[in-house]
Amino acid sequence: MTLSLRSLRMIGAAVLCAAVLPAAAQSLTVYTAGPGGLAKALAAGYTARTGVPVDVFQADTGKVLARLEAEAANPHADVVISASWDSAVDLSARGLLQPYTSAHAAQVPAAFRTQDFVAQGLSALAIAWNTRSGTPRPADWQDLAAPAFKDKVNLPDPAQSGTSLELLLGLQAAQGDAAWKLLGALRENGASVAGANAQALNPVLQGAKAAVFGAVDYVALGSQDNGEAIEVIFPASGTVIAPRPMMVMKAAPNPAQAQAFIDYVLSDEGQALVADTFLLPARADVPARRAGLDALKLLPLDAQVGQAEREATLRRFAQVFGRK
């Protein structure tokens, strides 16, 4: 039987589709809280190593979690990287995560890994102070409630920033009502809640504000490294660290690729990319580009804080700052 040219083209197209479909099925979808540059670097590195394309959705923690909820009936995410350890605890408690332990996880301190999730890296919360602002150098959180800082302080919104919520929970655990009195004093002194971390920091870099209360250190350190007139100050009374949990979703369309991506992020190459952003690498054996945990005074954290308490804390913060 002689096949027409048109038939040959159709057969060729079918063969091509058959060859392409398995590769497309192996694509990977990662939902991640910033930094965006790190997400792109890790995606590019993983693709270069494996040939597997990576689709990245990058936003703040609140938007990442909201998207997961919106897609609950039709999940798309294989891997989720949050800026809030508590969010991973909650997802695990709800049975939404697939247990996975990477071979590289043995180099991650036990406090920053569970059977369901592991830290990508760690940040700490700090005061980011504009050295040309004409204000006195602050040494502790309460200094930003002083008259010299009236109308000159920004706070990231903990409803949008997982790291900001970590600080709020840490201050509340360590100081109780005194933490809320400090927040009230900041509000009375004209402090503003200014979106997520970048929105809080940008006016300080531009000189419109003098300081950020609860700046994510790696963002501010990156700005300092770029020559901005900014100093990152870790308060004398203590701060919190914010491990950035990575997790494989139980409903992941491509769980094998998700696990391989976790392996890559925890590899020597992946952790070097993490360190390049001024995050602390999750692995204790990978050098950082900034001061390590031993240089910080850390506030105690309650590891059992659940979703209900997190939501109650966010509501109280909103009431203090007159937000709906």
52/114 same-domain check: yes
Percentage of the chain lying above the pLDDT 90 cut: 77
110/138 same-domain check: no
Is the distance from CB of 153 to CB of 201 less than 8 angstroms?
Answer: no
Is the distance from CB of 212 to CB of 125 less than 8 angstroms?
Answer: no
Distance CA 120, CA 266 (A): 7
Distance CA 226, CA 175 (A): 35
- For residue 33, what is the domain's CATH number? 3.40.190.10
110/146 same-domain check: no
- Over 80: is that where the pLDDT of 306 sits? no
Which one-letter amino acid corresponds to residue 225?
D
Is the distance from CB of 290 to CB of 227 less than 8 angstroms?
Answer: no
- Over 80: is that where the pLDDT of 244 sits? yes
Q: Tabulate helix, strand, coil % of the chain (nearest 5).
A: 45, 20, 35
- Residue 303 pLDDT class (50, 70, 90 cuts): low
- Residue 323 pLDDT class (50, 70, 90 cuts): low
Instruction: Establish if 130 belongs to a structural domain.
Output: yes
Inter-CA distances, 28 with 50, 78, 89, Å: 11, 6, 23
Across the range 169-187, mean pLDDT stands at 95
Two tokens, residue 118? 């592991």
183/305 same-domain check: yes
Question: Residue 298 has what DSSP assignment?
Answer: B
pLDDT tens figures, 58-82: 998 889 999 999 999 999 999 999 9
Q: Annotated binding site for Fe cation, which residues?
A: 218
pLDDT score of 302: 64
Across the range 140-165, mean pLDDT stands at 94
194/65 same-domain check: no
pLDDT score of 13: 37
pLDDT score of 22: 40
For residue 199, what are the domain limits?
123-241+298-320
Is the distance from CB of 79 to CB of 262 less than 8 angstroms?
Answer: yes
54/104 same-domain check: yes
14 vs 78, residue with greater confidence: 78
Instruction: Establish if 269 belongs to a structural domain.
Output: yes
Q: For the residues of 189-225, what is the DSSP string, one character each?
A: TT-EE-SSHHHHHHHHHHTSSSEEEEEEHHHHHHHHH
- Over 90: is that where the pLDDT of 292 sits? no
pLDDT score of 137: 98
16/78 same-domain check: yes
Instruction: Establish if 293 belongs to a structural domain.
Output: no
- Number of domains observed in the structure of the chain: 2
pLDDT score of 207: 96
Instruction: Establish if 182 belongs to a structural domain.
Output: yes
pLDDT score of 36: 80
- Over 80: is that where the pLDDT of 89 sits? yes
Among the ranges given (30-39, 127-136, 265-274), the one the predictor scored with the smallest mean pLDDT: 30-39
Distance CA 183, CA 191 (A): 9
pTM of the model: 0.81
- Over 50: is that where the pLDDT of 15 sits? no
Instruction: Establish if 104 belongs to a structural domain.
Output: yes
**Burial label, 200 (beta-carbon count in 10 A; 0-12, 13-18, 19+):** buried
Across the range 129-137, mean pLDDT stands at 98
Query: Is residue 235 reached through a cis peptide bond, with omega within 30 degrees of 0 on the bond before it?
Result: no
pLDDT score of 272: 98
Inter-CA distances, 20 with 9, 23, 132, Å: 16, 5, 57
Among the ranges given (101-115, 158-172, 248-262, 263-277), the one the predictor scored with the smallest mean pLDDT: 158-172
134/218 same-domain check: yes
211/254 same-domain check: no
Percentage of the chain lying above the pLDDT 70 cut: 90
- Residue 188 pLDDT class (50, 70, 90 cuts): very high
Across the range 215-244, mean pLDDT stands at 94
pLDDT score of 127: 98
pLDDT score of 294: 86
* Mean pLDDT score of the chain: 89
Length of the chain: 324
Q: Annotated binding site, which residues?
A: 218
Is the distance from CB of 210 to CB of 152 less than 8 angstroms?
Answer: yes
Inter-CA distances, 315 with 59, 89, 291, Å: 22, 20, 34
135/212 same-domain check: yes
- Over 90: is that where the pLDDT of 6 sits? no
- Over 50: is that where the pLDDT of 7 sits? no
11 vs 226, residue with greater confidence: 226
Distance CA 258, CA 256 (A): 5
Instruction: Establish if 292 belongs to a structural domain.
Output: no
231/97 same-domain check: no
